[in-house]
Amino acid sequence: MVDKVDRIMALIVPGINNPFEHFWRGPLGKLCNEMIEIDLKDYYEKQGSVKALKSILELFKHKQPDYLFIYDRLYYDLNIPELLTELRKISPKTKSVFISGDDDLMFESTKYLARYFDYVFVGQLQCIKDFEKEGVKNVLPVVIISSVQPTKINYKKNYPITFMGGPNENRIKMIEALCKNGFDIKVFGIREWGKFPIIKNIYGGFLSSMEYIKTLYQTKINLCFSKNAIGVHHIKGRFFENSAYKTFSLVEYCPILATLFKENEEIVFFRSRKELFEKIEYYLEHEKEREKIAEAAYKKIKKNFNLEKDLSNFIIRTKDNISHLDMPKYDYRVLNLEEKHMRLSKKELFQIIKSYEYISFSRSKTIHSKLKNNLQIYSLKLTGKEVSCCDYFIYSRILGNYSYFRFSPGIKYLDADYSKFLNINQFFMTKKFFVNNFEKIRKDYFSERITFSNKKNTVLVPVPLVKIVSFRKGFFGKEFDKNSEMFFTYYFPRVLYSLRKHPVKFMVFVYGLFLEAVSGKRFIFAQLRKKYLDHIKIFR
């Protein structure tokens, strides 16, 4: 007898090989009387970001689910801390669960977001200790993807080798090498694959969920790469997903996977380009051995990584828990320094800050998140550093949050190349640091060029906690135009699509975007041009 709860709500973003659709929907649906799915992409495209969030809050208030599951593929202008804080007010009984798959890559963000959730499912097992070191105790392992039963259809193996996923430097080099050496490989995934001349000819397009499964069954060897975006080996869900459908995978060596599966019996690794070539040739010729290993991998996953069983145990263990894991709250006094303060004499200003413990900043037009002070104090307490720097939205009255500047994992943040993208409104610091570095900070405040911050004294909080309207002249130079940390083109098409049936609002938005671009934010035109040219290159 399944121990059910009344309602479970899931906030998701569909995409290629959507984990929720393949692996989570069924098990979660069996554990509740009503399964409520919120397709965030659909909400945003039909209503726009502001109305979409209002609709989600209204639905949440009406349904008051027992559990809320939020998946990490949320490429939208969600302010997770504020959203979770509001949702908890609306429905105190709801337990929130965050599903995070790339914790090694996104750990600097997730370790802060985790404090706003009751539970966090962690996909990279080695990161559980990292969370615990940071004082986050609500983490659970989530290498649990496979409750599916293979479809009993005998598809013809039309593809000798396939890879399904997105491009990165390691994958591109490996696939280009396979092509140059005459291997018959097909690549599926996002259209950016079409930008690479050698790969363009073997690119098969973007697959729907059903097409993805069918292609798995039609493939002799499914390639799985184990390096993340910064070149570090980690657990990729692809091997688990492929094995859940009892299909054979050739996997780039991953130390953690090697502890979970027996090599050459339940998993086959390659450690070099030469070994990849040799094992492709071998396993293309040895069908029975391929099938035997695929069968063994399926049995191991079904036994040890059973999502249905683990979710059922999780619900049984937590359903009667009415307490929440709350973000620590601090009662320190924070002074937000504006231009009028910074123009005072040193003596006058130091007299004012006497009774404060922390310093924040406002320069020109800016809007601070209600949670900014608390989250940045937390970051300083967590690290023992004296300065905290958050991400930011670029905002306008007409467009709202239309772009998002973030520090991607692995970049050399706070060095000369990236300090030019910083803004004084992002910063928060101890009074002691402010006093000891006053002259430099005041100079930076008015020049709007940050020199006081470095890796040694500053902790990054990769969460957008401030909306910035005005920037110094020359801020948006050529370096900014193609900056990969500026997420503009994610928002633009979505907003236009949501306004397609409202001609007046559509034109107002386009006009507002034009005004922003001609006012100095040249990256708007640069990124749109690049996006358009890339699209042409791929499909011409």
* pLDDT at position 536 over 50: no
Count of C-beta atoms within a 10 Å radius of residue 126: 13
Residue 334: its pLDDT value, please? Answer: 97
Q: What percent of the chain has pLDDT over 70?
A: 87
CA distance 38 to 55: 10
In 3D space, the residue among 482, 364, 465, 323 whose CA is nearest the CA of residue 417 turns out to be: 482
Residue 538: its pLDDT value, please? Answer: 41
CA distance 243 to 241: 6
Residue 410: its pLDDT value, please? Answer: 40
Residue 76: its pLDDT value, please? Answer: 55
- Domain with residues 159-305, CATH architecture: 3-Layer(aba) Sandwich (3.40)
pLDDT tens-digit profile of 211-238? 888 999 999 999 999 987 677 788 888 8
Burial class (CB in 10 A: 0-12, 13-18, 19+), 478: exposed
Residue 368: its pLDDT value, please? Answer: 94
pLDDT tens-digit profile of 482-505? 555 566 655 666 777 778 888 898
CA distance 308 to 31: 9
Residue 472: its pLDDT value, please? Answer: 81
CA distance 142 to 280: 30
Q: Find the angle CA(250)-CA(253)-CA(256) to the nearest 5 degrees.
A: 120
CA distance 124 to 232: 12
Q: What is the mean pLDDT of residues 106-114?
A: 80
* pLDDT at position 150 over 80: no
* pLDDT at position 540 over 50: no
Higher pLDDT, 104 or 408: 104
* pLDDT at position 328 over 90: no
Burial class (CB in 10 A: 0-12, 13-18, 19+), 101: buried
pLDDT tens-digit profile of 40-51? 878 887 887 778
- Cα–Cα separations (whole angstroms), residue 471 to 121, 422, 490: 39, 10, 22
Residue 85: its pLDDT value, please? Answer: 86
Residue at 93: amino acid letter: K
CA dihedral angle for residue 419, residue 423, residue 428, residue 431, rounded to 10 degrees: 80
Residue 539: its pLDDT value, please? Answer: 41
Sketch the domain layout of the chain as residue ranges: 5-147+308-318, 159-305, 334-488
Residue 281: its pLDDT value, please? Answer: 97
- Cα–Cα separations (whole angstroms), residue 98 to 372, 462, 523: 21, 17, 33
Residue 247: its pLDDT value, please? Answer: 93
Beta bridge partners of 394: 403, 468
In 3D space, the residue among 119, 121, 124 whose CA is nearest the CA of residue 104 turns out to be: 124
The answer to whether the beta carbons of residues 45 and 494 sit under 8 Å apart is yes
CA distance 203 to 220: 17
CATH T-level assignment (fold) for domain 5-147+308-318: Rossmann fold (3.40.50)
Residue 74: its pLDDT value, please? Answer: 57
The pLDDT mean for the chain works out to: 85
Q: What is the mean pLDDT of residues 96-106?
A: 80
* pLDDT at position 406 over 80: no
Question: Given this chain, do its domains 5-147+308-318 and 159-305 carry the same CATH topology?
Answer: yes
- For the whole model, what pTM was predicted? 0.80
pLDDT tens-digit profile of 62-94? 999 999 998 765 555 667 788 888 888 999 999
Residue 169: its pLDDT value, please? Answer: 86
CA distance 182 to 176: 10
Residue 495: its pLDDT value, please? Answer: 76
Q: What is the mean pLDDT of residues 372-393?
A: 93
Q: What percent of the chain has pLDDT over 90?
A: 41
How does residue 457 score in pLDDT terms, banded at 50, 70 and 90?
very high
* pLDDT at position 16 over 70: no
pLDDT tens-digit profile of 333-354? 999 999 999 999 999 999 999 9
Residue 482: its pLDDT value, please? Answer: 59
Higher pLDDT, 232 or 386: 386
Per DSSP (E only), the strands in 254-313 are: 268-270
pLDDT-wise least confident of 118-127, 149-158, 330-339, 430-439 = 149-158
Residue 488: its pLDDT value, please? Answer: 62
* pLDDT at position 530 over 70: no
Higher pLDDT, 295 or 325: 295
* SS3 at position 536: helix
The answer to whether the beta carbons of residues 534 and 192 sit under 8 Å apart is yes
How does residue 532 score in pLDDT terms, banded at 50, 70 and 90?
low
Higher pLDDT, 292 or 420: 292
User: Number of helices and strands (H, E) in the chain?
Assistant: 25, 19
